[in-house]
Amino acid sequence: MKIYFLLLFVLMTTITLAQLTPYEKSGKKETATYDEAIAHYKQLAKIYSNQAKLLSYGETDFGKPLHLLVLSKSGLFEPTKIKAEDKRVLLINNGIHPGEPEGIDASMMLARDLLQQKKLPNNVVICIIPVYNIDGSFNRTSISRANQNGPLAYGFRGNSKNYDLNRDFIKTDSKNSESFQQIFNVWQPEIFVDTHTSNGADYQYTMTLIPTQKDKLNPILSSYLTKIMLPFLYTEMQKKGFELIPYINSVKETPDSGISGFMESPRYSTGYATLHNVIGFMPETHMLKPYDQRVQSTYKLLQTYIDIVERDAKIIGENKKRADKAIANQTIFTLDWIRNTEKFDEIEFKGYTAKYKPSEVSGLERLYYDRNEPYTKTIKQWNSFEPALTIEKPIAYIIPRAWDKVIKLLKLNNVEVYEFKSDTKLELEMYYIADMKTAQRPFEGHYLHSAVKVEPRTQTIKYHAGDYVVYANQKTNRYIVETLEPQAPDSFFNWNFFDSILGQKEHFSSYIFEDTAADLLKKNPALKQKLEEEKTKNPELAKNAYAQLEFIYKNSDYFEPTFMRYPIGRLVKDVKLDIK
């Protein structure tokens, strides 16, 4: 019997040691590689097969699949059955910036500990993406983050196409984004956490936090976030030795001048989550703190998320259902937001005294923080945002089948899409792009548009069998509206999906069009009067023969109606459509 227990002890010790992470084996100085992380999770899934499963979803730009570890106490691993049993889903994303790897190591240890210690929650299924930016994790050095205190080596921010994947959740240039959206929309989490490391000022805190911006979040979810969830996170993390502070986005050079809230648009992971009525968090550990403290604070915070989602599983689920229903029935949507600079609250802040001294490089004055002079003071926080642009949703959007990437992304995001059975003509509100700004340099591979202004016109448009109808009566309305309305900051239009409509395809030869233009003026006195009025207002026009021909051409039926016309129509009158 003694030999049996001795062998059992040796076996259990061997298993435990085998499940140590590379971070632990290195004395908390190194972060796991992608291969080490996947091997770790494969081992956990093998040993604890009744409660852990490692899945893969699609490819990444690096050619490797995007993995998802699912931890389920009941042994359920099918999302539909999990929802049927009214369990919550907590999704944790790690390594979107592989040079910020705390979440990679913390999640590996947390998953192991929950399984080993039999502490999986009853009402929460935990989903972990081990490493999201697989490409960047293989580009491993110790120098790409010049301001960061460890680990010894880490991955690179950009992926193999040099995209910052935390700007890719709408445009979806990467396979990583497409695979992530598949995971997100199959598992439909209620709470989402995306782990990061900060840059910026020096202060006493190890962990800062960016929650979904409260004003843009559905009011039902926002009330729970601000009144219940955030106070719990702040209280519990203080008990655990890692006091939280909002992300330090200083309004001036140093934090004691006050901080501003962060408005995450849908290009960011948490902004994308908001489109689906999911409460999102972006924890940002402080780059200058020792790596082991950053990992430990991330571990503790992830534990705390699990605790509150388990405690409030029922109310979180009910809130999500109510928010989805409210969004489906909502008629007015905010496309853009502006910070209220007059409204602020005050928070306690523990920082270090900012000082200035001559630079050893330039000889000019430079900023530094004196850690020998810590302070605690009250600072202002501007964290209130108001609608800057709103629209009334149409009954439906009508999308020609040619815009297949748009349709693909809508379907990927659980948007119900219908097809015309036969050719049809519809009276629609069509947008013409009246004005916009375009970046002079590319941003994440795109010459991004902004400040878009549209001119709505009512037109009768012919559509064909196979063209698409998207009704704006769905729980995915925010995704629908904020991608299809061109004025929205992260609309498909602003990400250059429709740039081909900005180019004129037909024109005229002056010597031929002279006779046509003269005939048009004879037959159309209103056009002739319009030309004369324009010449009076603009003397230069009167001196320019070609410009007058151009004016007549653009105000005639010869001018192509599709030039600068946004191709997605808005159905604003309720009519019966022949769709399938």
Q: Are strands 365-382 and 259-260 parallel, antiparallel or unpaired?
A: parallel
Tens of pLDDT, residues 172-195: 999 999 999 999 999 999 999 999
pLDDT range class, residue 200, cuts 50, 70, 90: confident
pLDDT range class, residue 209, cuts 50, 70, 90: very high
Tens of pLDDT, residues 100-131: 999 999 999 999 999 999 999 999 999 999 99
Cβ-contact 137, 35 below 8 angstroms: no
| Per-residue pLDDT, 1 | 53
- For residue 159, pLDDT over 70 is answered with yes
| Per-residue pLDDT, 473 | 98
Q: What is the pTM of this model?
A: 0.94
From 285, 306, 329, the end of a domain falls on 329
Residue 366 in any domain: the answer is: no
Q: On the CB side of 291, how many CA atoms lie within 13 Å of its CA? A: 25
Average pLDDT for residues 388-396, to the nearest whole number?
A: 98
What residue numbers bound the domain in which 494 lies?
387-504+563-571
**Integer Cα distance of 129 and 412 in angstroms:** 18
Residues listed for the chain: 580
From 286, 303, 329, the end of a domain falls on 329
pLDDT range class, residue 11, cuts 50, 70, 90: very low
Average pLDDT for residues 213-218, to the nearest whole number?
A: 97
Same domain, 301 and 428: no
Same domain, 425 and 536: no
Residue 500 in any domain: the answer is: yes
Q: Which residues contact 402 (CB under 8 A, 6 or more apart)?
A: 567
Average pLDDT for residues 443-452, to the nearest whole number?
A: 98
- Surface-to-core class of residue 418, CB atoms within 10 Å of its CB (0-12 exposed, 13-18 middle, 19+ buried): middle
Same domain, 62 and 135: yes
| Per-residue pLDDT, 2 | 56
Same domain, 405 and 549: no
Query: What is the maximum alpha-carbon separation in the chain?
Result: 112
Residue 467 in any domain: the answer is: yes
pLDDT range class, residue 445, cuts 50, 70, 90: very high
Residue 367 in any domain: the answer is: no
Same domain, 456 and 527: no
Residue 373 in any domain: the answer is: no
Closest CA to 510 of 551, 550, 538: 550
Same domain, 68 and 113: yes
| Per-residue pLDDT, 247 | 96
Residue 16 in any domain: the answer is: yes
Q: What is the mean pLDDT of the chain?
A: 95
Owner of token pair 């046509």: 516
Same domain, 46 and 184: yes
CATH number at residue 218: 3.40.630.10
Same domain, 285 and 413: no
Q: How distant, in Å, are the alpha carbons of 258, 288, 356, 370 from that of 254?
A: 8, 16, 12, 13
Average pLDDT for residues 69-88, to the nearest whole number?
A: 97
Closest CA to 274 of 338, 214, 197: 214
- For residue 18, pLDDT over 70 is answered with no
- Total domains in the chain come to 3
Same domain, 515 and 436: no
Instruction: Spell out where 215-364 has E strands.
Output: 244-246, 259-260, 279-285, 332-339, 345-358
pLDDT range class, residue 5, cuts 50, 70, 90: very low
Residue 371 in any domain: the answer is: no
Same domain, 55 and 11: yes
Q: How far is CA 344 from the centre of its chain?
A: 26
**Integer Cα distance of 237 and 244 in angstroms:** 7
Same domain, 250 and 394: no
Residue 248 in any domain: the answer is: yes
Same domain, 251 and 269: yes
Tens of pLDDT, residues 221-264: 999 999 999 999 999 999 999 999 999 999 999 999 999 998 99
| Per-residue pLDDT, 10 | 42
Beta bridge partners of 88: 124
Cβ-contact 92, 270 below 8 angstroms: no
